[in-house]
Structure 1
Amino acid sequence: MTLLKEAVVENFTDIPAAVRNGAYRIELTDNMAVGGTTPSKGIIAEANKYLTEQNVELTVMIRARGGNFVYNDTEVKIMEADIFEAQQLGVDGVAFGAVTADGELDEETMEALIAATGGMNITMHMAFDALNPTSQLSAIDWLADHDVTRILTHGGALDTPIEDNFDRLKEYTEYAAGRLVILPGGGINADNMETVAAALNAKQVHGTKVVSYK
Protein backbone atom coordinates (compact mmCIF):
# COMPACT_ATOMS: atom_id res chain seq x y z
CA MET A 1 0.00 0.00 0.00
CA THR A 2 1.24 3.48 -0.86
CA LEU A 3 2.27 5.55 2.14
CA LEU A 4 0.07 8.65 2.39
CA LYS A 5 2.09 11.80 2.98
CA GLU A 6 0.62 14.84 4.71
CA ALA A 7 2.88 17.76 3.86
CA VAL A 8 2.98 20.86 6.04
CA VAL A 9 3.21 24.19 4.22
CA GLU A 10 2.98 27.79 5.41
CA ASN A 11 2.35 29.55 2.10
CA PHE A 12 0.64 28.92 -1.21
CA THR A 13 3.91 28.99 -3.14
CA ASP A 14 5.01 25.55 -1.90
CA ILE A 15 1.72 23.79 -2.57
CA PRO A 16 2.05 22.97 -6.30
CA ALA A 17 5.49 21.41 -5.79
CA ALA A 18 4.27 19.45 -2.76
CA VAL A 19 1.40 18.05 -4.81
CA ARG A 20 3.67 17.31 -7.75
CA ASN A 21 6.01 15.41 -5.43
CA GLY A 22 3.35 13.17 -3.97
CA ALA A 23 1.54 14.93 -1.12
CA TYR A 24 -1.75 13.18 -0.39
CA ARG A 25 -2.91 15.88 1.99
CA ILE A 26 -1.74 19.41 2.72
CA GLU A 27 -1.77 20.88 6.21
CA LEU A 28 -1.82 24.63 5.67
CA THR A 29 -0.51 26.72 8.53
CA ASP A 30 1.20 30.00 9.27
CA ASN A 31 4.04 30.91 11.64
CA MET A 32 5.69 27.50 11.75
CA ALA A 33 8.44 29.09 13.86
CA VAL A 34 5.98 29.03 16.78
CA GLY A 35 4.47 25.66 15.89
CA GLY A 36 1.81 26.99 13.54
CA THR A 37 -1.15 29.37 13.68
CA THR A 38 -4.24 29.93 11.53
CA PRO A 39 -3.38 31.13 8.01
CA SER A 40 -5.18 34.03 6.36
CA LYS A 41 -8.55 33.65 4.68
CA GLY A 42 -7.03 34.62 1.32
CA ILE A 43 -4.38 31.91 1.45
CA ILE A 44 -6.92 29.31 2.58
CA ALA A 45 -9.25 30.23 -0.30
CA GLU A 46 -6.58 29.98 -3.00
CA ALA A 47 -5.11 26.80 -1.54
CA ASN A 48 -8.53 25.17 -1.36
CA LYS A 49 -9.37 26.15 -4.93
CA TYR A 50 -6.10 24.74 -6.28
CA LEU A 51 -6.17 21.55 -4.20
CA THR A 52 -9.79 20.82 -5.10
CA GLU A 53 -8.78 20.94 -8.76
CA GLN A 54 -5.89 18.58 -8.00
CA ASN A 55 -8.08 16.23 -5.92
CA VAL A 56 -5.79 16.65 -2.92
CA GLU A 57 -7.11 17.04 0.62
CA LEU A 58 -6.62 20.24 2.62
CA THR A 59 -6.44 20.52 6.39
CA VAL A 60 -6.18 24.01 7.88
CA MET A 61 -4.49 24.73 11.19
CA ILE A 62 -6.78 26.49 13.66
CA ARG A 63 -4.72 28.09 16.41
CA ALA A 64 -5.11 31.59 17.77
CA ARG A 65 -1.46 32.01 18.79
CA GLY A 66 1.78 30.22 19.51
CA GLY A 67 2.70 29.03 22.98
CA ASN A 68 0.64 26.63 25.02
CA PHE A 69 -2.78 25.18 24.22
CA VAL A 70 -4.64 26.70 27.17
CA TYR A 71 -7.08 29.19 25.65
CA ASN A 72 -9.25 31.92 27.13
CA ASP A 73 -12.82 32.67 26.01
CA THR A 74 -11.77 35.31 23.49
CA GLU A 75 -9.26 32.97 21.85
CA VAL A 76 -11.90 30.24 21.62
CA LYS A 77 -14.29 32.67 19.89
CA ILE A 78 -11.53 33.58 17.43
CA MET A 79 -10.90 29.92 16.61
CA GLU A 80 -14.63 29.21 16.24
CA ALA A 81 -14.86 32.08 13.75
CA ASP A 82 -11.85 30.76 11.83
CA ILE A 83 -13.42 27.29 11.66
CA PHE A 84 -16.65 28.78 10.29
CA GLU A 85 -14.61 30.61 7.63
CA ALA A 86 -12.84 27.38 6.63
CA GLN A 87 -16.17 25.58 6.48
CA GLN A 88 -17.69 28.27 4.25
CA LEU A 89 -14.70 28.02 1.92
CA GLY A 90 -15.31 24.27 1.54
CA VAL A 91 -12.11 23.06 3.23
CA ASP A 92 -11.86 19.30 3.86
CA GLY A 93 -10.63 19.47 7.42
CA VAL A 94 -9.25 21.48 10.31
CA ALA A 95 -6.62 20.80 12.98
CA PHE A 96 -6.90 22.10 16.53
CA GLY A 97 -6.48 21.09 20.14
CA ALA A 98 -7.07 22.48 23.62
CA VAL A 99 -5.63 21.48 26.98
CA THR A 100 -6.45 22.64 30.51
CA ALA A 101 -3.86 24.27 32.73
CA ASP A 102 -3.43 21.00 34.62
CA GLY A 103 -2.76 18.95 31.50
CA GLU A 104 -6.16 17.43 30.84
CA LEU A 105 -8.12 17.54 27.59
CA ASP A 106 -10.18 20.75 27.60
CA GLU A 107 -13.45 19.04 26.74
CA GLU A 108 -15.55 22.21 26.93
CA THR A 109 -13.37 24.05 24.41
CA MET A 110 -13.04 20.99 22.21
CA GLU A 111 -16.82 20.55 22.13
CA ALA A 112 -17.27 24.19 21.09
CA LEU A 113 -14.71 23.90 18.30
CA ILE A 114 -16.02 20.54 17.11
CA ALA A 115 -19.55 21.98 16.97
CA ALA A 116 -18.29 24.67 14.59
CA THR A 117 -16.83 22.21 12.07
CA GLY A 118 -20.08 21.28 10.32
CA GLY A 119 -18.87 17.85 9.27
CA MET A 120 -15.30 18.69 8.23
CA ASN A 121 -12.59 16.18 9.10
CA ILE A 122 -11.02 16.96 12.46
CA THR A 123 -7.40 16.45 13.49
CA MET A 124 -6.40 16.75 17.12
CA HIS A 125 -2.97 18.27 16.57
CA MET A 126 0.13 17.94 18.74
CA ALA A 127 -1.64 19.55 21.67
CA PHE A 128 -2.26 15.85 22.35
CA ASP A 129 1.39 15.53 23.37
CA ALA A 130 0.89 18.27 25.97
CA LEU A 131 -1.62 16.11 27.85
CA ASN A 132 -0.60 14.27 30.97
CA PRO A 133 0.59 10.83 29.80
CA THR A 134 -1.84 9.20 32.23
CA SER A 135 -4.73 11.01 30.52
CA GLN A 136 -3.87 10.28 26.90
CA LEU A 137 -5.69 6.98 26.51
CA SER A 138 -8.90 8.35 27.99
CA ALA A 139 -8.47 11.35 25.66
CA ILE A 140 -8.36 8.94 22.71
CA ASP A 141 -11.70 7.52 23.90
CA TRP A 142 -13.24 10.99 24.16
CA LEU A 143 -11.92 12.13 20.78
CA ALA A 144 -13.13 8.97 19.06
CA ASP A 145 -16.56 9.38 20.66
CA HIS A 146 -16.72 12.96 19.33
CA ASP A 147 -15.99 12.01 15.71
CA VAL A 148 -12.40 13.26 15.59
CA THR A 149 -10.79 11.82 12.45
CA ARG A 150 -7.16 11.59 13.54
CA ILE A 151 -4.66 12.47 16.25
CA LEU A 152 -1.35 13.99 15.18
CA THR A 153 1.29 12.98 17.69
CA HIS A 154 5.04 12.64 18.15
CA GLY A 155 4.52 10.22 21.01
CA GLY A 156 6.56 12.36 23.40
CA ALA A 157 8.40 15.64 23.69
CA LEU A 158 9.09 17.13 20.26
CA ASP A 159 12.83 17.41 21.00
CA THR A 160 13.09 13.61 21.25
CA PRO A 161 13.80 11.47 18.17
CA ILE A 162 10.58 9.88 16.99
CA GLU A 163 12.31 6.50 17.10
CA ASP A 164 12.52 6.86 20.88
CA ASN A 165 8.74 7.09 21.01
CA PHE A 166 7.81 4.05 18.96
CA ASP A 167 6.52 2.08 21.95
CA ARG A 168 4.18 4.88 22.99
CA LEU A 169 2.97 5.44 19.42
CA LYS A 170 2.28 1.73 19.05
CA GLU A 171 0.30 1.83 22.29
CA TYR A 172 -1.82 4.70 20.99
CA THR A 173 -2.47 2.88 17.71
CA GLU A 174 -3.42 -0.38 19.39
CA TYR A 175 -5.67 1.40 21.85
CA ALA A 176 -7.37 3.45 19.13
CA ALA A 177 -8.19 0.16 17.41
CA GLY A 178 -9.28 1.81 14.17
CA ARG A 179 -11.70 4.21 15.86
CA LEU A 180 -9.53 7.08 14.63
CA VAL A 181 -6.17 7.39 12.91
CA ILE A 182 -2.97 7.88 14.89
CA LEU A 183 -0.88 10.09 12.59
CA PRO A 184 2.84 10.16 13.48
CA GLY A 185 4.67 13.44 12.99
CA GLY A 186 7.69 15.41 14.10
CA GLY A 187 11.12 14.40 12.87
CA ILE A 188 9.78 12.42 9.92
CA ASN A 189 11.38 13.07 6.54
CA ALA A 190 11.80 11.50 3.12
CA ASP A 191 14.75 9.44 4.37
CA ASN A 192 13.13 7.80 7.39
CA MET A 193 9.39 7.87 6.68
CA GLU A 194 9.20 4.35 5.23
CA THR A 195 11.09 2.96 8.23
CA VAL A 196 8.88 4.86 10.67
CA ALA A 197 5.72 3.75 8.92
CA ALA A 198 6.81 0.11 8.87
CA ALA A 199 7.74 0.15 12.56
CA LEU A 200 4.38 1.64 13.52
CA ASN A 201 2.25 -0.09 10.88
CA ALA A 202 1.21 3.42 9.89
CA LYS A 203 -0.44 4.18 6.58
CA GLN A 204 0.04 7.98 6.86
CA VAL A 205 2.89 10.26 7.95
CA HIS A 206 3.06 13.99 8.60
CA GLY A 207 5.84 16.53 8.30
CA THR A 208 7.49 19.48 6.66
CA LYS A 209 10.03 17.25 4.94
CA VAL A 210 8.04 14.23 3.74
CA VAL A 211 8.00 15.65 0.19
CA SER A 212 10.19 18.01 -1.77
CA TYR A 213 9.01 21.58 -2.37
CA LYS A 214 11.15 22.03 -5.50
Structure 2
Amino acid sequence: MLTREFCAENMELVPAAVAAGAARIELCDNLAVGGTTPSYGVIRAAVAHARKTATDVMCMVRPRGGSFEHTPAEAAMMRDDLALAKRLGVTGVVFGCLRDGRLDRELTAELVRLAHEDAPEAPGRVAVTFHMAFDALAPKDQLEAIDWLADQGVERILTHGGPAGTPIADNLGRLRAFVSRAAGRLIILPGGGITWENAEAVAAALGVSEVHGTKIVQVA
Protein backbone atom coordinates (compact mmCIF):
# COMPACT_ATOMS: atom_id res chain seq x y z
CA MET A 1 0.00 0.00 0.00
CA LEU A 2 1.42 3.36 -1.05
CA THR A 3 1.35 6.04 1.66
CA ARG A 4 0.44 9.39 0.17
CA GLU A 5 1.46 12.45 2.17
CA PHE A 6 -0.58 15.49 1.20
CA CYS A 7 1.11 18.85 1.65
CA ALA A 8 -1.58 21.17 2.97
CA GLU A 9 -1.48 24.93 3.29
CA ASN A 10 -3.94 25.43 6.18
CA MET A 11 -7.05 23.28 6.75
CA GLU A 12 -9.01 24.16 3.62
CA LEU A 13 -8.29 20.99 1.63
CA VAL A 14 -7.43 18.59 4.45
CA PRO A 15 -10.84 16.88 4.77
CA ALA A 16 -11.09 16.39 0.99
CA ALA A 17 -7.50 15.11 0.77
CA VAL A 18 -8.09 12.57 3.52
CA ALA A 19 -11.31 11.46 1.85
CA ALA A 20 -9.38 11.06 -1.41
CA GLY A 21 -6.83 8.73 0.16
CA ALA A 22 -4.15 10.81 1.88
CA ALA A 23 -2.87 8.81 4.83
CA ARG A 24 -0.69 11.61 6.16
CA ILE A 25 -0.83 15.39 6.09
CA GLU A 26 2.18 17.67 6.05
CA LEU A 27 0.66 20.78 7.57
CA CYS A 28 2.21 24.16 6.87
CA ASP A 29 1.50 27.75 5.93
CA ASN A 30 2.89 29.99 3.17
CA LEU A 31 3.60 27.42 0.48
CA ALA A 32 4.67 30.27 -1.79
CA VAL A 33 7.90 30.43 0.24
CA GLY A 34 8.21 26.68 0.69
CA GLY A 35 6.16 26.38 3.85
CA THR A 36 6.32 27.88 7.34
CA THR A 37 4.92 26.95 10.73
CA PRO A 38 1.10 26.87 10.80
CA SER A 39 -0.90 28.60 13.51
CA TYR A 40 -2.04 27.11 16.80
CA GLY A 41 -5.63 26.98 15.59
CA VAL A 42 -4.76 25.29 12.30
CA ILE A 43 -2.65 22.64 14.05
CA ARG A 44 -5.36 21.94 16.59
CA ALA A 45 -8.05 21.63 13.89
CA ALA A 46 -5.90 19.31 11.77
CA VAL A 47 -5.13 17.05 14.71
CA ALA A 48 -8.80 16.90 15.66
CA HIS A 49 -9.74 15.86 12.13
CA ALA A 50 -6.88 13.37 11.98
CA ARG A 51 -8.02 11.64 15.15
CA LYS A 52 -11.43 11.02 13.60
CA THR A 53 -9.95 9.60 10.39
CA ALA A 54 -6.82 7.71 11.59
CA THR A 55 -4.64 10.16 9.66
CA ASP A 56 -1.16 11.31 10.64
CA VAL A 57 -0.21 14.99 10.87
CA MET A 58 3.34 16.18 10.30
CA CYS A 59 3.73 19.83 11.32
CA MET A 60 6.19 22.17 9.63
CA VAL A 61 8.55 23.95 12.03
CA ARG A 62 10.06 26.85 10.10
CA PRO A 63 9.91 30.46 11.29
CA ARG A 64 10.17 32.12 7.85
CA GLY A 65 10.80 31.54 4.17
CA GLY A 66 14.12 32.11 2.48
CA SER A 67 17.29 30.34 3.50
CA PHE A 68 17.44 27.39 5.87
CA GLU A 69 20.07 29.03 8.07
CA HIS A 70 18.59 30.17 11.36
CA THR A 71 19.64 32.84 13.82
CA PRO A 72 19.69 32.07 17.56
CA ALA A 73 16.39 33.94 17.91
CA GLU A 74 14.83 31.84 15.13
CA ALA A 75 16.18 28.67 16.71
CA ALA A 76 14.39 29.63 19.93
CA MET A 77 11.17 30.10 17.94
CA MET A 78 11.61 26.65 16.42
CA ARG A 79 12.06 25.05 19.83
CA ASP A 80 8.89 26.74 21.08
CA ASP A 81 6.87 25.85 17.97
CA LEU A 82 8.03 22.24 18.06
CA ALA A 83 7.07 21.90 21.71
CA LEU A 84 3.66 23.46 21.01
CA ALA A 85 3.02 21.10 18.10
CA LYS A 86 3.81 18.13 20.34
CA ARG A 87 1.44 19.37 23.02
CA LEU A 88 -1.30 19.69 20.41
CA GLY A 89 -0.87 16.03 19.44
CA VAL A 90 0.84 15.95 16.05
CA THR A 91 2.34 12.72 14.74
CA GLY A 92 5.60 14.38 13.76
CA VAL A 93 7.46 17.54 12.88
CA VAL A 94 9.22 18.71 9.74
CA PHE A 95 12.27 20.96 9.72
CA GLY A 96 15.67 21.49 8.12
CA CYS A 97 18.65 23.41 9.45
CA LEU A 98 21.78 24.46 7.57
CA ARG A 99 24.85 26.45 8.56
CA ASP A 100 27.27 27.87 6.00
CA GLY A 101 25.74 25.64 3.33
CA ARG A 102 26.14 22.43 5.31
CA LEU A 103 24.05 20.63 7.89
CA ASP A 104 23.63 22.58 11.10
CA ARG A 105 24.35 19.55 13.23
CA GLU A 106 24.06 21.31 16.56
CA LEU A 107 20.58 22.76 16.00
CA THR A 108 19.33 19.69 14.12
CA ALA A 109 20.43 17.35 16.92
CA GLU A 110 18.81 19.59 19.52
CA LEU A 111 15.48 19.68 17.67
CA VAL A 112 15.55 15.92 17.07
CA ARG A 113 16.08 15.37 20.80
CA LEU A 114 13.18 17.68 21.60
CA ALA A 115 10.96 15.77 19.17
CA HIS A 116 11.96 12.35 20.48
CA GLU A 117 12.24 13.00 24.21
CA ASP A 118 9.26 12.89 26.55
CA ALA A 119 9.88 16.19 28.31
CA PRO A 120 7.45 18.16 30.52
CA GLU A 121 7.39 21.10 28.11
CA ALA A 122 7.09 18.80 25.07
CA PRO A 123 5.42 15.54 26.13
CA GLY A 124 5.53 12.34 24.12
CA ARG A 125 7.66 11.26 21.17
CA VAL A 126 7.00 12.38 17.61
CA ALA A 127 8.66 11.51 14.32
CA VAL A 128 11.06 13.83 12.47
CA THR A 129 11.23 14.59 8.76
CA PHE A 130 14.23 16.58 7.55
CA HIS A 131 12.70 18.62 4.75
CA MET A 132 13.93 19.88 1.38
CA ALA A 133 16.67 21.91 3.00
CA PHE A 134 18.42 18.64 2.17
CA ASP A 135 18.32 19.59 -1.51
CA ALA A 136 20.22 22.79 -0.77
CA LEU A 137 23.24 20.75 0.31
CA ALA A 138 26.06 20.24 -2.16
CA PRO A 139 25.65 16.86 -3.87
CA LYS A 140 29.00 15.76 -2.47
CA ASP A 141 27.66 16.26 1.08
CA GLN A 142 24.27 14.59 0.69
CA LEU A 143 25.20 10.94 1.14
CA GLU A 144 27.16 11.69 4.30
CA ALA A 145 24.21 13.77 5.51
CA ILE A 146 21.95 10.73 5.11
CA ASP A 147 24.31 8.75 7.36
CA TRP A 148 24.41 11.45 10.02
CA LEU A 149 20.65 12.03 10.02
CA ALA A 150 20.03 8.30 10.29
CA ASP A 151 22.41 8.14 13.24
CA GLN A 152 20.41 10.90 14.94
CA GLY A 153 17.24 8.83 14.59
CA VAL A 154 15.58 11.03 11.96
CA GLU A 155 12.74 9.02 10.45
CA ARG A 156 12.52 10.61 6.98
CA ILE A 157 14.23 12.89 4.50
CA LEU A 158 11.93 14.77 2.13
CA THR A 159 13.79 15.37 -1.12
CA HIS A 160 13.22 16.18 -4.75
CA GLY A 161 16.54 14.64 -5.68
CA GLY A 162 17.64 17.76 -7.56
CA PRO A 163 17.08 21.50 -7.90
CA ALA A 164 13.56 22.78 -7.36
CA GLY A 165 11.55 22.90 -10.55
CA THR A 166 13.40 20.10 -12.31
CA PRO A 167 11.22 17.23 -13.57
CA ILE A 168 11.03 14.38 -11.07
CA ALA A 169 11.87 11.97 -13.90
CA ASP A 170 15.26 13.65 -14.28
CA ASN A 171 16.08 12.99 -10.63
CA LEU A 172 15.22 9.31 -10.31
CA GLY A 173 18.84 8.21 -10.51
CA ARG A 174 19.88 10.47 -7.67
CA LEU A 175 16.86 9.47 -5.61
CA ARG A 176 17.75 5.80 -6.10
CA ALA A 177 21.23 6.58 -4.76
CA PHE A 178 19.64 8.15 -1.68
CA VAL A 179 17.40 5.13 -1.13
CA SER A 180 20.38 2.81 -1.49
CA ARG A 181 22.49 4.84 0.95
CA ALA A 182 19.66 5.00 3.49
CA ALA A 183 19.44 1.20 3.39
CA GLY A 184 16.31 1.12 5.49
CA ARG A 185 17.79 3.21 8.32
CA LEU A 186 15.42 6.03 7.43
CA ILE A 187 12.80 6.67 4.76
CA ILE A 188 13.59 8.65 1.64
CA LEU A 189 10.37 10.52 0.91
CA PRO A 190 10.34 11.81 -2.68
CA GLY A 191 8.41 14.99 -3.39
CA GLY A 192 8.11 17.79 -5.90
CA GLY A 193 6.42 17.02 -9.21
CA ILE A 194 4.72 13.87 -7.91
CA THR A 195 0.96 13.83 -8.43
CA TRP A 196 -1.92 11.41 -8.06
CA GLU A 197 -1.34 10.53 -11.72
CA ASN A 198 2.36 9.51 -11.53
CA ALA A 199 2.73 8.57 -7.86
CA GLU A 200 2.51 4.81 -8.37
CA ALA A 201 5.02 4.87 -11.24
CA VAL A 202 7.52 7.01 -9.32
CA ALA A 203 7.23 4.84 -6.23
CA ALA A 204 7.75 1.68 -8.27
CA ALA A 205 10.77 3.17 -10.05
CA LEU A 206 12.39 4.03 -6.73
CA GLY A 207 11.24 1.08 -4.67
CA VAL A 208 9.66 3.33 -2.04
CA SER A 209 6.34 3.07 -0.24
CA GLU A 210 5.75 6.76 0.57
CA VAL A 211 5.34 9.82 -1.67
CA HIS A 212 4.67 13.51 -1.01
CA GLY A 213 3.02 16.38 -2.82
CA THR A 214 0.35 19.05 -3.02
CA LYS A 215 -1.42 17.01 -5.73
CA ILE A 216 -0.64 13.55 -4.40
CA VAL A 217 -4.38 12.73 -4.27
CA GLN A 218 -7.11 13.94 -6.58
CA VAL A 219 -8.99 16.63 -4.73
CA ALA A 220 -12.06 17.90 -6.59
Q: TM-score range by the shorter chain?
A: over 0.9
Match runs of 1:132-211 below 5 Å: 132-211=138-217
Aligned equivalent of 2:49 = 50
1:92 aligns to 2:91 (yes or no): yes
Task: Name the aligned partner's letter for residue 195 of structure 1.
Answer: A
Which residue among 96, 100, 107 is the counterpart of 1:109? 107
Which letter maps to 2:112?
I
Using the aligned pairs only, state the percent identity.
50
Shift of residue 52, structure 1, vs aligned partner? 1.3
Q: Report deviation, 1:30.
A: 0.1
Amino acid at match of 1:184: P
Amino acid at match of 1:201: G
Unpaired runs of at least 5, structure 1: none
| Distance in 2 of aligned mates of 1:165 and 1:14 | 28
Please list the CA deviations of residues 77-96 of structure 1 after superposition, one character each: whole Å capped at 9, or x if unmatched: 00110000011111110000
TM-score of the two chains, using structure 2 as the length reference: 0.94
- Residue deviations 1:123-179, cap 9 Å, x none? 000000011111111111111111100000000101110111111100000010000
Aligned to 2:72: 73
1:190 CA drift (Å): 1.2
**Alignment RMSD:** 0.8
Structure 2 residues without counterparts, runs of 5 or longer: 118-124
Structure-2 residue corresponding to 1:23: 22
Q: Tell me the distance in 1 between the aligned counterparts of 2:216 and 2:146.
A: 26
Quote the offset at 1:100 in angstroms: 1.3
Aligned to 2:136: 130
SS at match of 1:12: coil
Measure the CA separation in 2 of the matches of 1:46 and 1:159: 31
Distance 1:40 1:160 in 2: 31
Q: Which runs of 4+ in 1 moved over 2 A?
A: none
Q: Distance in 2 between matches of 1:76 and 1:199?
A: 37
Q: Distance in 2 between matches of 1:35 and 1:84?
A: 22
Q: What TM-score comes out, normalization by structure 1 length?
A: 0.97
- One-letter amino acid of the counterpart of residue 136, structure 2: A
Quote how far apart the aligned CAs of 1:115 are. Answer: 2.1
Alignment size in residue pairs: 212
